[in-house]
Amino acid sequence: MSSPISLVAGGTGLVGSHVINSLSKLHGLQIILVRSFNSEIPKNGELKIINFDDLKSDKVQLRSNIDHVYLCLGKKLLTYELGYMQHASRESFKLIDYEYPLLIAKLAFKNGARSISLVSAVGAQEGSFNYYFHIKGKLENEIKKIGYQNICFARPGHLLGQRKDFRGYEIPILEAGLRFAAPFMQGPIKNFKQVEAKQVANSMIISTRGQNKGESYLYYEDFLKTEIFE
């Protein structure tokens, strides 16, 4: 069996960087699709620098034998925007979290990919009054229409991990509050518990590289069961 070729979009983000790191410990080539990249390129990595706006005009060319796709793109948001996003911010959010990922998914499918994993969000639902959840759910629904055989939607709550950029003074307070509340978060709301980004990344890889068919949704307890690639 030939070594798989993976396409990673959003590799400079929290989950995406862990996807790249974990894939570097596995066999197969990974194509890292980014606007810029300041980290060390793994030995099995191939960097592809693009202008994401070129995706709209078919200027981006990929090799024709891609196997797996990891969509980890996401706009940096302020904490309050997860609850309510002002109209002035919605266009750029939709561009980064919906239009770009969908264009990449379609392009990769044309180039042979049949397995895909997407970083979504717990609560994702098209038509939701919450714009953040609406866009995440809309992307999920559009991905389903492309024709992928294996689709994994990772739906984490708040992500834990070392970020490269400052996310706000309220983040440590939020994380402390979630740690305190965790034992009381049972039933459906347990999926809103915070989780390590590394576990989310590894869960996506296992699902995407498996022989599963159809759609799968990963939540809090699924992430905890995942092995860590060291």
Q: How far apart are CA 203 and CA 19, in angstroms?
A: 10
pLDDT grade for 212, boundaries at 50, 70 and 90: confident
174-201 per-position pLDDT tens digit: 878 888 888 888 988 999 999 999 999 9
Task: Locate 104 and state its tokens.
Answer: 């990449």
pLDDT at 229: 56
39-65 per-position pLDDT tens digit: 899 999 999 999 999 999 989 988 879
Average pLDDT score over residue span 79-103: 94
CATH number for the domain whose boundaries are 5-223: 3.40.50.720
Query: How far does the chain reach from its first CA to its final CA, in angstroms?
Result: 24
Furthest C-alpha separation in the chain: 50
Query: pTM (2 decimals)?
Result: 0.92
